[in-house]
A = this chain, B = another copy of it.
Amino acid sequence: MAAIYKRRVEFAETDMAGQVHFSVFFRYMEEAEHAIWRRAGMRIAAEGRTHQWPRISATCDFKSRLRVDDEFEVRTEMAKVSARTIQWAHTMMRGDTLVAQGSVTAVCVQLQADGTFVAVEIPADVLTRLRSALA
């Protein structure tokens, strides 16, 4: 029940220490999650959509360096689902080497008439489709 997202490190993602800057790992994890949304036939960030999914928490443990041109993959699972939130767990591998383990929790919100956001329950069909994209 994990989706695999494959990626290559680009030059602009490195820093002067010769490796991918740690903040970029969070972009990789987000890319992996958004690929799941697309595979589920949805677009998390399309304009005019009813719900938005701001991130409320993110963590990452960095185990091994990623360098330019490295090919790696992000294995993504749903670690925890509550009424309003999804916690995605990401494992990043370069071949057999563990690169990083992280998680990102997103909350389902709806735009109100006054421009603020309110957390709402995740629509059942959205969850069903996301789960099927992981199968």
- A interface, CB within 8 angstroms of B: 10-12, 14-19, 21-24, 26-27, 30-31, 34, 38, 43-47, 52, 54-62, 65, 67-69, 104
**From A103, which residue of chain B is reached at the shortest CB distance?**
B59
State the Cβ distance, A36 to closest chain B Cβ, in Å: 13
Decide if B61 touches A43 in the complex (CB within 8 Å): no
Which secondary structure characterizes the binding site on chain A? mixed
Q: A38-B69, A45-B68 are in contact. List 6 more A-B contacts (CB 8 A).
A: A10-B31, A12-B23, A16-B16, A45-B69, A57-B62, A58-B59
From B12, B38, B65, B67, A27 is in contact (CB under 8 Å) with: B12
Query: CA–CA, A27 to B43, complex, Å?
Result: 24
- B69 contacts A11, C-beta separation under 8 Å: no
Instruction: Name which residue of chain B comes closest to A22, CB basis.
Output: B55
